[in-house]
Amino acid sequence: MATAGEDAPVLVVGGSLVGLSTAVFLGHHGVPSLVLERHRGTAIHPRAALVNQRTVETYRAVGLQEEVEEAAAREFVQNGAIVSVESLGGKELDWYFRFINEGVETISPTPRIFVTQIGLEPVLLRAAERLGAHVHYASETVSVEQDGDGVTAVVRPRDGGSERTVRARYLVAADGTHSPIRERLGIRQLGHGSFSDSITIYFRADVRRLMGDRNLSVVYVFGPRLQGFFRFSIDLQAGFLVVNSTTDADGTRSVRIGEDMSESTCVGYVREALGDPDLPVEIENVQRWSASAEYAERLREGRVFLAGDSAHVMPPTGGFGGNCGVQDAYDLAWKLAYVLDGRAGEELLATYDVERGPVGAFTTEQAYTRYVLRLDPSLGKENLMPIVDEAAVEIGYRYRSSAVTGAADDAMWEDPREPSGRPGFRAPHATVSVGGVERSTLDLFGRNFVVLAGPDGEAWRSAAQAAATSLGVVVDTYRIGADVADSTGSCERLYGTGTGGAALVRPDGFVAWRASTAEPDPASALADALGAALGRR
């Protein structure tokens, strides 16, 4: 698909969680990409582990749910609790979740799962390569230029050899928190800046006795002296402890934890947080990182798009950061694919920043509020965005852009347990039967535009075909009660189509437009909505 003189249609700089996900989603839409990663392979540190329902939905749409769940099962007993304690063996303070899928089972055909970047990235790498991506490790991008036709990057092999130039039509900067590309473009960061020089201590210790029969996925430690969180390996013989702050006996608080990463200090932290001063503890590795809450003022500069931590970085409280990045990639990939082969207008690419920018900012604020309330109230509770329920942050956000028509009200998020099907929200999940096979409505989406029509909405079928033909895209049409058997009657209600209306759903599973009743001229109504959704108004 690359044209003469191009190495690939899309260059992805950064081949970690978000870069690899971008390559998978592009490949799913038939776009091969070239991924350049400075490291020599996939992640060697666990970092993200809570993979939320919306992210699993995106992997389900590209056929990866099973493989991701298998990787998850190798690493963790799934569906554990999230608690805060004074120490693992000591007093329990609060249960944020008794089990992480509590109360969200009806939202999606997918669960929240736990799998680290060590477990997940190899799955993504294999899928990306199967789908046509080329992933080059030990390859550092040292400069990026753009012109009217494309981008040119200079790549330096880390293991010797000479620099070379690569050329692509578009570039996705999935190059992490310090994003050299964002810096070079002069895109400012907004938000709360950095508030802790934190460390992650990877250790080996037998914690079975301290854990008892609890299944704890994340353990926040809010001890008298130490604040941070634990995650443990499936055999309870290893884990990591993040230390964000300490408080001395005289009440003096320190967030400069990274200044002392000596083995004896780290062993002391681990023993204290475990609540056993004598437990044998072996330190394997210590990583220093900055807890911060920041988001880029814009996510696009011409042909370059920021995604993942380069677009927004947030503290791990809530487990939102990596998920938000994967969902950036999911929004961007279909748009690039449709623009690259001419199905969509260039204007569609402007909607990436308009849609994902506010979601990144909102999600970052939610992670920051949780950090302040759970780990460091001394940062100040004034001007905090009030807590919004996790499920709404993960899956209930809304897109408002020129690619969404008829979003009449101002709501920016909703509780996905009671989805409204309004334009701009993720299309709701309902269990239906298609061709005698039980499926989720979400399984209808992922590649083409879809018209889901009410039971009396046969007129939408020819309207959809006419719009599809005139705009040169494929539109799949399903009529509730005919193509989609809906024994519970929930589809019509959830999508708000009434008996004679219809919803237009984008390839990323977001509602682009809907009619809640029959329209006098369905063909032109649908053509207008589809044209807008394709940036070809």
228 lies in the site for ligand FAD, by CB under 6 A? no
Are 330 and 508 contacting, i.e. CB atoms less than 8 angstroms apart?
yes
Residues 240-279 that bind ligand FAD (CB under 6 A): 242
Residue selected from 8, 26, 48, 56 as contacting ligand FAD according to rule CB under 6 A: 48
200 lies in the site for ligand FAD, by CB under 6 A? yes
State in angstroms the smallest separation of the CB of 94 from ligand FAD: 18
For ligand FAD (CB under 6 A), the number of binding residues is 33
Residue selected from 67, 92, 129, 140 as contacting ligand FAD according to rule CB under 6 A: 140
The dihedral of CA 99, 495, 388, 321: what is its sign? positive
309 lies in the site for ligand FAD, by CB under 6 A? yes
State in angstroms the smallest separation of the CB of 5 from ligand FAD: 22
Report CA-CA distances (Å) from 502 to 219, 432, 465, 492, 512.
46, 17, 14, 9, 11
Report CA-CA distances (Å) from 424 to 341, 400, 410.
25, 6, 11
36 lies in the site for ligand FAD, by CB under 6 A? yes
Q: Tell me the two tokens of residue 50.
A: 């809570």
- In the complex with ligand FAD, the residue whose CB is nearer, 157 or 358, is 157
Using CB under 6 A, which of the segments 16-24, 386-394, 402-410, 426-434 binds ligand FAD? Answer: 16-24
The DSSP output letter for 23 is H
State in angstroms the smallest separation of the CB of 169 from ligand FAD: 19
Residue selected from 176, 396, 416, 424 as contacting ligand FAD according to rule CB under 6 A: 176
The DSSP output letter for 272 is H
Residue selected from 119, 180, 223, 454 as contacting ligand FAD according to rule CB under 6 A: 180
316 lies in the site for ligand FAD, by CB under 6 A? yes
> Whose CA is closest to 303, among 28, 14, 31, 10?
10
The dihedral of CA 247, 253, 257, 261: what is its sign? negative
Alpha carbon of residue 371 to chain centroid: 19
- In the complex with ligand FAD, the residue whose CB is nearer, 126 or 156, is 156
Q: Where are the beta strands (DSSP E) in 5-104?
A: 8-13, 33-36, 50-51, 81-85, 92-97
Using CB under 6 A, which of the segments 3-11, 30-38, 265-273, 295-303 binds ligand FAD? Answer: 30-38
- In the complex with ligand FAD, the residue whose CB is nearer, 179 or 246, is 179
Using CB under 6 A, which of the segments 127-135, 255-263, 318-326, 464-472 binds ligand FAD? Answer: 318-326
> Whose CA is closest to 535, among 353, 327, 335, 337?
335
Helical spans, DSSP H, in 194-314: 208-211, 263-274
> Whose CA is closest to 22, among 299, 300, 446, 329?
329
Alpha carbon of residue 341 to chain centroid: 26
Residues 373-402 that bind ligand FAD (CB under 6 A): none
239 lies in the site for ligand FAD, by CB under 6 A? no
> Whose CA is closest to 55, among 247, 328, 311?
328
Residue 286: in which H helix or E strand, if any? strand 282-296
Using CB under 6 A, which of the segments 12-20, 413-421, 429-437, 527-535 binds ligand FAD? Answer: 12-20
38 lies in the site for ligand FAD, by CB under 6 A? yes
- In the complex with ligand FAD, the residue whose CB is nearer, 18 or 339, is 18
Residue selected from 13, 115, 221, 484 as contacting ligand FAD according to rule CB under 6 A: 13
- In the complex with ligand FAD, the residue whose CB is nearer, 16 or 65, is 16
Q: Which residues bind ligand FAD (CB under 6 A)?
A: 13-14, 16-19, 36-39, 47-50, 140-141, 174-177, 180, 200, 242, 289, 308-309, 316, 319-323, 325
